[in-house]
């Protein structure tokens, strides 16, 4: 389900595509650029991350083998959009073991002055 103008939906689709490609290639600079300046990320097992990451070291020692996002709902309400879904990721850990990860995710997106959308808030939890 989605609501919003065709322009908004196309811009959000671009954000999703950029995020997907950057996650698969572990391009942390691009991933960071997709966040608002005052973003808040709420990952499992760690404290809140406020703002963009200061460096590109996130995920050091981990290789992404596969990454996919599937959003089930998107609602656009003015300058904000809300979406939720599932992330699936296969990683090779620094110890050589493969891990298949699955997360529930909810994101709040924010429309920027130039009409593009960025991730403003994100929370994800392990999915059994």
Q: Please, which residues bridge with residue 86 across strands? A: 70, 104
- For residues 71 and 82, the answer to whether their CB atoms sit within 8 Å is no
> Cβ-count burial of 105 within 10 angstroms (0-12 exposed, 13-18 middle, 19+ buried)?
middle
Instruction: Parse the chain into domains and list their residue ranges.
Output: 6-126
Cα 116 to Cα 37, 77, 80, 108: the distances in Å are 14, 15, 11, 14
What mean pLDDT value characterizes the chain?
90
Please tell me the predicted confidence (pLDDT) of residue 53: 80
**7-54 per-position pLDDT tens digit:** 999 999 999 999 999 999 999 999 999 999 999 999 888 899 999 886
Task: Extract the tokens encoding 65.
Answer: 């083998």
pTM for this one? 0.88
- State which fold the 6-126 domain adopts: Nuclear Transport Factor 2; Chain: A, (3.10.450)
Token output for 82: 């809300």
- Which distant-in-sequence residues (6+ apart) come within 8 Å of 46 by Cβ? none
Q: What's the rounded Cα separation, in Å, for the pair 95 and 27?
A: 21
């Amino acid at each position: 389900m989605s609501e919003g103008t065709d322009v908004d939906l196309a811009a959000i689709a671009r954000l999703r595509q950029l995020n997907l490609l950057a996650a698969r290639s572990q391009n942390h600079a691009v991933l960071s650029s997709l966040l608002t300046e005052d973003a808040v990320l709420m990952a499992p097992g760690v404290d809140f991350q406020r703002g963009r990451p200061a460096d590109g070291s996130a995920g050091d020692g981990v290789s992404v083998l596969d990454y996919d996002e599937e959003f089930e709902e998107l609602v656009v309400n003015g300058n904000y959009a809300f979406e939720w879904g599932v992330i699936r990721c296969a990683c090779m850990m620094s110890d050589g073991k493969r891990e298949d990860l699955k997360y529930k995710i909810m994101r709040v997106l924010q429309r920027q002055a130039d009409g593009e959308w960025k991730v403003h808030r994100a929370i994800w939890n392990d999915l059994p």
